[in-house]
Amino acid sequence: MHVVVTGGGGFLGSHLCDALLRRGDSVLCVDDFSTADPQNTAHLSGHPCFTFVRADVTAAFDVLGPLDAVAHLASPASPPDYHRRPLETLAVGSRGTENALRLAVRHRARFVLASTSEVYGDPVVHPQREDYWGNVNPVGPRSVYDEAKRFAEALSMAYRRSLDANVGILRIFNTYGPRMRPYDGRVVSTFIRQALDGEPLTIYGDGSQTRSFCYVDDLVRGIVAMIDSDLPGPLNLGNPCERTVRELAELVLETTGSASGLEFRPLPVDDPVRRRPVITRAQHQLDWFPHVTMEEGLRNTMEWFRSRRSLSSAGRTA
Ligand code: NAD
Ligand code: UDP
């Protein structure tokens, strides 16, 4: 297949590019580097089936030659990133999504939207099934991300209904793994970095809020299966194994063997209290289920963070 991956320089996008190339696809990655780490795709430069185009997808774009699928992942994803870039987040969720949809329609290609569990906001129904409509504060600080993704879903469904576009929506729950940026502000990357640096782990609120964390390899397998299907979704993709933030902190300390303490900070505005996906739709329709345990996933992630640290300290002493 010939696949365009928007946001392919980021955490999930770069793993998706790897997975598609591994099975023999050609990949065109479009990324503006706003939250990407160039190291994520550095190993692909020179790959005969990989092309990187540095571009902002809020400007219209086209590709020459055949195109079978567009995976639209471009968007800031970590709360500090979208708080820092509120207008850009709304623009990429709206104009950026429309440009990616137009590209898919022009080429009669499959379109997969990387939506998010944040469309459920601070959910009053637990766990979350796809038929739950959510509880989003439309004017709160998180709304730039949540509403951009809700609009992106509405736009994708309108393209499906009006233009018969082959659109599929994935609602991705918290995912972690190698290539997360150590200072992206997300909880797993922050805790691992703090534990390895011997700094206190910063728990927001009392740490009783929950999330359900999926390892990146599992998640990417689900995205590839969605690209290969004609399913409209929305489908939840995530690991239903739910943990409190405090439990996560303790698990990170155990995994890293760190002696760091815990430091409690105020809970951010509108921070969802709990989150866990119901994944029976993805199980039945995509034959997808996550396999990697949190212990194994954290170990892999920690090892990757350690190897990056030793590389950069080797660089400093060289
Ligand atoms: P990321 O920040 O690592 O990657 C996003 C990528 O999009 C970056 O490389 C960034 O440079 C690029 N980008 C942003 N705006 C762009 C624009 N206007 N034009 C071109 N490129 C642009 O984040 P991620 O965790 O890899 O998330 C990828 C996608 O998955 C996002 O759409 C996010 O909303 C969604 N998602 C991720 C998670 C998660 O836990 N990682 C959960 C739910 C949804
Ligand atoms: N969190 C925390 N300490 C941190 C970063 C995040 O306690 O240093 C909390 C955050 O308040 C939220 C949870 O961890 O309750 C998950 O945060 P993240 O930003 O990773 O994802 P999201 O809130 O988007 O689900």
Nearest CA to ligand 2 atom 10: 204
Cα dihedral 120, 122, 126, 132, rounded to 10, equals -30
Query: How far is Cα of residue 234 from the mean position of the Cα atoms in its chain?
Result: 16
Average pLDDT, rounded, for the chain: 96
With a 6 Å cutoff on the Cβ, whether 96 touches ligand 1 is yes
Does 108 or 314 have the greater pLDDT score?
Answer: 108
ipTM of the complex: 0.99
Q: Confirm whether 145 is a catalytic residue.
A: yes
Quick check: 315 pLDDT over 80?
Answer: no
Rounded to the nearest whole angstrom, what is the distance from the C-alpha of residue 295 to the centroid of ligand 2?
19
Q: Which residues of 135-147 are buried (b: 16+ CB within 10 A; e: fewer)?
A: ebeeeeebbbbbb
Q: What is the pLDDT of residue 314?
A: 55
Q: What percent of the chain has pLDDT over 90?
A: 96
Query: Quick count: other Cβ atoms within 10 Å of Cβ 131?
Result: 9
Measured between alpha carbons, how far is residue 2 from residues 21, 48, 109, 222 in Å?
10, 13, 9, 18
Please spell the DSSP secondary structure of 206-267, one letter per residue. TS--EEE-EEHHHHHHHHHHHHHS-----EEES---EEEHHHHHHHHHHHHT----EEEEPP
Largest CA distance in the chain: 60
Q: What is the pLDDT of residue 312?
A: 67
Spatial distance between the Cα atoms of 275 and 127, rounded to a whole number of angstroms? 7
pLDDT digit string (tens) for 197-227? 999 999 999 999 999 999 999 999 999 999 9
Token pair belonging to 108: 């009669």
φ, ψ for residue 179 (rounded to 5)?
A: 85, 0
Question: Can you tell me which atom of ligand 1 is nearest the CA of 57?
Answer: 19
Q: Report DSSP state, residue 7.
A: T
Nearest CA to ligand 2 atom 16: 187
With a 6 Å cutoff on the Cβ, whether 216 touches ligand 1 is no
With a 6 Å cutoff on the Cβ, whether 56 touches ligand 1 is yes
Quick check: 316 pLDDT over 50?
Answer: no
Q: What is the mean pLDDT of residues 42-61?
A: 97
CA nearest to 222, candidates 293, 173, 152, 290: 290
Binned at pLDDT 50, 70 and 90, residue 310 comes out as confident
Does 6 or 317 have the greater pLDDT score?
Answer: 6
